[in-house]
């Protein structure tokens, strides 16, 4: 249950609401070929107060022809149910002054996002294919490809402006209404390679590629197309560990964020059981970098991550 007090910036209708969520999950593994081929079937069953009953099934097939090769595939259906904001909110997203090129009227224009109590759940059908191999004991390789089909995606659709006189002064409202009018196709791959250089030193590299095609341009450019990491985990002694991560993240053109390369490292010493002293450095390659920007539609704050170095002491009893 929640109880809110509205303002010009944000309000909910109704101001108070009690919601219930019920869910359950069932799953079964069927051995088709002993020790080689398995089929996993399951579903999540959920009931919520916004869209009612939602059923989210999945099927996975796992084939292991030998000890060093594993191939798997999956088809899943999932939903994102509407939130309180999608359903009930009235959110002030910005203002346009009068007698300007964007607003030649004598009234200020307030841009408001309005929830929609007829909104439906967003739907996802996901297809995945993966392969894992460990040709020798000191190296393993994982590759996963995926294709995600999103439908009934919730976006803001511009409605017809109307005049409000309260609160003063009189102003026009430009409504942006929540609707299920968009779709997205998201596809890509993820690769992970793990190398056990020595018994005390492990290297792990990852690469991810993500492509987004959407009916609404605002849904594109908000996720990095490419990401890569190289991680080193080294046990200097039984009581001293040194970890380092080099990370590259592609830019976010939809949010005005450039790509960046950064380095994190941590060295920890455990002088006795339950006690750890650690020196950590984060974002060491530059003074700061932007990781998230403004969408231009709502008053989101850019997220700037600065370089930091700190010493910590942990004691566990």
How many Å apart are CA 254 and CA 251, to the nearest integer?
9
Q: Is residue 49 part of a domain?
A: yes
Q: Where are the alpha helices (DSSP H) in the chain?
A: 84-88
- To the nearest whole number, what is the mean pLDDT of the chain? 93
Count of Cβ atoms closer than 10 Å to residue 289 Cβ: 19
Q: Which of 71-75, 120-124, 304-308 has the lowest mean pLDDT?
A: 304-308
Structure tokens at 112: 């408001």
Q: Residues 91-121, buried b or exposed e (16+ Cβ, 10 A)?
A: bbbeebeeeeeebeeebbbbbbbbbbeebbb
Same domain membership, residue 9 and residue 88: yes
Q: Is residue 195 part of a domain?
A: no
Domain final residue pick, 117, 150, 181? 181
Model confidence at 105, in pLDDT bands (50, 70, 90)?
very high
Same domain membership, residue 240 and residue 150: no
Residue whose entry in the numeric block shows the structure tokens 């046990």: 235
Count of Cβ atoms closer than 10 Å to residue 214 Cβ: 18
Same domain membership, residue 233 and residue 151: no
Percent of the chain clearing pLDDT 70 (strictly above):
97
Counting the structural domains of the chain, the total is: 2
Q: Is residue 152 part of a domain?
A: yes
User: At 51, phi and psi to the nearest 5?
Assistant: -125, 0
Any idea what the Cα angle at residue 121 is, between residues 40 and 55, rounded to 5°? 30
What pLDDT score does 190 carry? 97
Range among 12-16, 120-124, 286-290 rated most confident: 120-124
What pLDDT score does 73 carry? 98
Question: Which carries the bigger pLDDT value, residue 301 or residue 268?
Answer: 268
Same domain membership, residue 235 and residue 165: no
Range of the domain at 57: 1-181
Taking only the tens place, the pLDDT of each residue in 182-212 is: 999 999 999 999 999 999 999 999 999 999 9
The H helix count followed by the E strand count for the chain is 1, 21
Is the pLDDT score of 297 beyond 60?
Answer: no
How many Å apart are CA 207 and CA 143, to the nearest integer?
10
Indicate the pTM of the whole model. 0.85
The residue among 262, 278, 289 whose CA lies nearest residue 313 is 278
What pLDDT score does 300 carry? 58
| Averaged pLDDT, 163-189 | 93
State the CATH number of the domain containing residue 89.
2.40.170.20
Same domain membership, residue 162 and residue 269: no
User: At 65, phi and psi to the nearest 5?
Assistant: -70, -25
How many Å apart are CA 261 and CA 283, to the nearest integer?
9
């Amino acid at each position: 249950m929640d109880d809110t007090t509205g303002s010009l910036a944000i309000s909910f209708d109704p101001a108070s609401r009690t919601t219930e969520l019920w869910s359950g999950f069932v799953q079964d593994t069927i051995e088709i070929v002993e020790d080689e081929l398995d089929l996993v079937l399951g579903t999540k069953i959920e009931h919520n107060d916004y869209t009612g009953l939602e059923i989210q099934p999945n099927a996975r097939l796992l084939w292991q022809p030998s000890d060093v090769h594993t191939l798997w595939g999956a088809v899943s259906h999932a939903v994102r149910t509407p939130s309180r904001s999608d359903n009930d909110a009235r959110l002030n997203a910005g203002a346009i002054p009068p007698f300007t090129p964007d607003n030649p009227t004598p009234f200020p224009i307030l841009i408001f996002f309005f929830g929609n109590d007829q909104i439906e759940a967003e739907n996802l059908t996901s297809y995945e294919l993966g392969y894992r191999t460990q040709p020798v004991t000191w190296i393993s390789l994982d590759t996963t490809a995926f294709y995600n089909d999103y439908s009934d995606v919730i976006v803001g659709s511009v409605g017809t402006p109307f005049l409000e006189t309260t609160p003063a002064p009189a102003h026009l409202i430009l409504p942006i209404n929540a609707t299920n009018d968009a779709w997205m196709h998201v596809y890509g791959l993820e690769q992970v390679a793990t190398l056990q250089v020595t018994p005390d030193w492990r290297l792990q590299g990852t690469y991810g590629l993500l492509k987004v095609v959407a009916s609404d341009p605002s849904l594109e450019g908000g996720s990095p197309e490419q990401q890569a990491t190289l991680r080193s985990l080294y046990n200097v002694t039984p009581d001293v560990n040194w970890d380092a991560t080099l990370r590259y993240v592609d830019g976010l053109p939809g949010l005005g964020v450039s790509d960046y390369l950064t380095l994190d490292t941590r060295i920890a010493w455990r002088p006795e059981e339950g006690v750890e002293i650690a020196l950590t450095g984060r974002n060491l390659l530059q003074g700061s970098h932007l990781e998230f920007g403004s969408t231009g539609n709502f008053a989101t704050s850019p997220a700037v991550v600065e370089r930091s170095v700190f010493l910590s002491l942990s004691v566990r009893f």
